[in-house]
Structure 1
């Protein structure tokens, strides 16, 4: 029982990242199928179906959006939509298939698995997958996965006691990153696509280059009388607000500052509420099917995103107007940064670590692109491929050694991509690395075929759980 104690005791015999345990790929990884080739085929099939379900609706919606344009070649659009859907589906499918193939190759080459094996396997398999995807999508994928990897590294550091989390730290992070975003936005220094998005949300009245006030066209309202009446009431309310206060010469918007901010509050509260209801559609359907009025009420009375959108835009506009009025002139970058900081605290209504980290990651990407453009940093070709592979190496390491540190929504995604096989790894063999590998599945022991279990240590662990003849 000496060997068994070594396999199960994590205290004094914790292994390091370059230490190894003796086991085969079947004994630890694809425990549900003793055949490596059979595992690849089964995983490819299930991953392809899952990936197609993910990408097909996205590309279909994109195609429908493009069809609204008058000069759209329908045949060309249909062909490109099908090809892009299949290519992205294959990329995601191979992401789940390559990792098993590389794991098996690693086990056969070294005859054991090291503490860094998850990272190495993930890095190689992710590189082989990302080169399948279109170049135009690699940057977005790299940013998203880098964001996820940073979150995992932070959780790893917390679980090991290296850092102490700050209460509401994601709020401060979002507010600080928003300083740079809003300063760039008001100075029209963001990338064109991002500048366009912020102009639609915050209004192009706030951009530095917007100097001419455009006259609004008053079109007649047709359609439902109720909608017409509702619009008339809102218009009446805003016209009354417009009479309150004034607009200083340094403000470019046409209304008074009060009406300018109030219009944003009403508009974006409605938009945020609509998006939140759409996000809760599953809960709403479940409540309707079960006649659960309590759950239905909670789904429709969820105002978190509405309050976030409303506060974000309203505070940004109001503070910019206040600063312009107080100083008597506009300073776009400086005022934008101040307003961005305070509007960033709207995240109190919708705290999200994912959103905050994505904002920071994207901001770093903008800094790097500007530094490359001004030749302060050298240009690295295929840097997005490198970052994606490196970040996915971290994600795959966590999925094997410490899945409890992965964002729950992404862990569910990884399970679905693997055909719900990721939880079936024999993680009790990995407890010696001190990563709490079995924290999520403490009682799971696979039913391995005795004919293919050749490692004595694995046999003893199985015997201790009554699964060895």
Structure 2
């Protein structure tokens, strides 16, 4: 490991924007590229938003959607332009690069400017997303350096911990996260949500249905052959458990297939023979098993809780969440597990602030976004081999692969093997604009 205090005397052109020696031209080029790609990226997002809310379509809603779309485009453009612009400005002020200014500081400054452009309603969502990706990169880096050991199926433990909290929240009358609660209602149905549970409990009390103690073996037999009077489904609990699993499998299979189809439309159009491999891809089956087991285990555990306790309890949701989380064994999704974990942290912090136990820090969301995104820019340069592949593809797309042109071999003094994925790469410099030091470092043809 090299020393973090080392100074790099290189210019912006030699280290960063190696495709163009002029700082202003390189920054302007990234601004235009970022704007074009942002139009495409958010064009798809807001088009789908408009289709989902088609019943709301009106002139007023259309204007709002267009305004939100342009705001998000500006946000992403500022993020790209702010990074490269800050990169050059900081270099000209310090006249050198250090461990932080090679990427983290410019990424932090550009991200902070960008998040202030975006609508406040989307800032928390964006902050949680990039924090999720950054935490995954941080873990990969820690494992790569030997600071921690990789835990087999560790994402299941994270997911189970988060689902214990979210399962309890889902079945309570005051869910902690409206977004997660809405998503869970889509896959689990409204009948198991806390509000519906409360209505059934109230109706049962009004009907004065007596609760008589029943031996455990009779409860087990009744669970198999019939349903509890508080169960919201029709038919027996076991048939409902099986039918829920089949429905979940179909949803997961079709959802994964749809995602693959959307991203593969150009290839399928050019070569229709590639359609069959998409249909029989094992990821579709794994996604189906994951969602099928998740929904059936969650609902089945809730049924079991009603039979065991004779009533609906939020605690059953915590147990159901832990058991349902085991379905991730069929479909490893560390990003989903981390996202759930960060949503739990967010909701717990929000509840603590509302109860007066924790201070509400002004600008904490914006600061979290800037730090996390700054770290992601830093990883993309310093240890790109530890970055989440999908996010690296996003950064390459946003800059038209300009970020891949960073001369990572000049970062060797820091000892991170930054050029690991670029063993034969050296920028095609204009020799009139580079120093003798860099000329001497250039490998022989």
- Same fold at TM > 0.5: yes
> Which residue of the other structure, out of 51, 54, 62, is the alignment partner of 1:64?
51
Partner of 2:352: 371
Q: CA deviation at 1:144?
A: 0.2
Partner of 1:218: none
C-alpha contact (below 8 Å) 2:188/2:295 kept by paired residues = yes
Question: 289-298 or 377-386, which moves further after superposition?
Answer: 289-298
> Which residue of the other structure, out of 329, 334, 339, is the alignment partner of 2:311?
329
> Which residue of the other structure, out of 188, 197, 201, is the alignment partner of 2:173?
188
C-alpha contact (below 8 Å) 2:352/2:358 kept by paired residues = yes
Partner of 2:67: 83
Partner of 2:364: 383
C-alpha contact (below 8 Å) 1:277/1:300 kept by paired residues = no
Partner of 1:426: 407
Q: Does 1:258 align with 2:245?
A: no
CA displacement, residues 396-418 of structure 1 (integer Å, 9 cap, x when unaligned): 11111111111111101101111
Question: 120-129 or 295-304, which moves further after superposition?
Answer: 295-304
C-alpha contact (below 8 Å) 2:200/2:230 kept by paired residues = no
Q: CA deviation at 1:153?
A: 0.9
Name the SS for the 1:114 alignment partner: coil
Paired residues for 1:224-239 under 5 Å: none
Partner of 1:7: none
Partner of 1:138: 123
C-alpha contact (below 8 Å) 1:149/1:394 kept by paired residues = yes
* Aligned equivalents of 2:141, 2:239: Cα separation in 1: 48
Partner of 1:234: none
Gaps of 5+ in 2: 202-221
Q: CA deviation at 1:301?
A: 8.1
Paired residues for 1:22-101 under 5 Å: 22-69=9-56, 72=57, 74-101=58-85
C-alpha contact (below 8 Å) 2:14/2:407 kept by paired residues = yes
C-alpha contact (below 8 Å) 2:27/2:84 kept by paired residues = yes
Partner of 1:415: 396
* Aligned equivalents of 2:355, 2:283: Cα separation in 1: 49
* Aligned equivalents of 2:224, 2:338: Cα separation in 1: 40
Q: TM-score, normalised by structure 1?
A: 0.84
CA displacement, residues 293-312 of structure 1 (integer Å, 9 cap, x when unaligned): 76245338831111111100
Partner of 1:443: 424
Q: Does 1:273 align with 2:253?
A: yes
Q: CA deviation at 1:77?
A: 1.9
C-alpha contact (below 8 Å) 2:17/2:26 kept by paired residues = yes
Partner of 1:179: 164
C-alpha contact (below 8 Å) 1:445/1:465 kept by paired residues = no
Partner of 2:217: none
Partner of 1:314: 296
Partner of 2:187: 201
* Aligned equivalents of 1:193, 1:302: Cα separation in 2: 25
Q: CA deviation at 1:82?
A: 1.9
Pick closer, same or farther for the CA change 1:90–1:257 going to 2, 3 Å.
same
Q: CA deviation at 1:290?
A: 5.3
* Aligned equivalents of 1:284, 1:262: Cα separation in 2: 34
> Which residue of the other structure, out of 69, 87, 91, is the alignment partner of 1:107?
91
CA displacement, residues 320-356 of structure 1 (integer Å, 9 cap, x when unaligned): 21232133333x2221111111110111111111111
C-alpha contact (below 8 Å) 1:51/1:92 kept by paired residues = yes
CA displacement, residues 142-161 of structure 1 (integer Å, 9 cap, x when unaligned): 00000111111111111111
Paired residues for 1:391-402 under 5 Å: 391-402=372-383
C-alpha contact (below 8 Å) 1:213/1:253 kept by paired residues = no
* Aligned equivalents of 1:263, 1:143: Cα separation in 2: 35
Partner of 2:204: none
Pick closer, same or farther for the CA change 1:298–1:124 going to 2, 3 Å.
same
Question: 41-50 or 294-303, which moves further after superposition?
Answer: 294-303
Pick closer, same or farther for the CA change 1:250–1:294 going to 2, 3 Å.
closer
C-alpha contact (below 8 Å) 1:130/1:385 kept by paired residues = yes
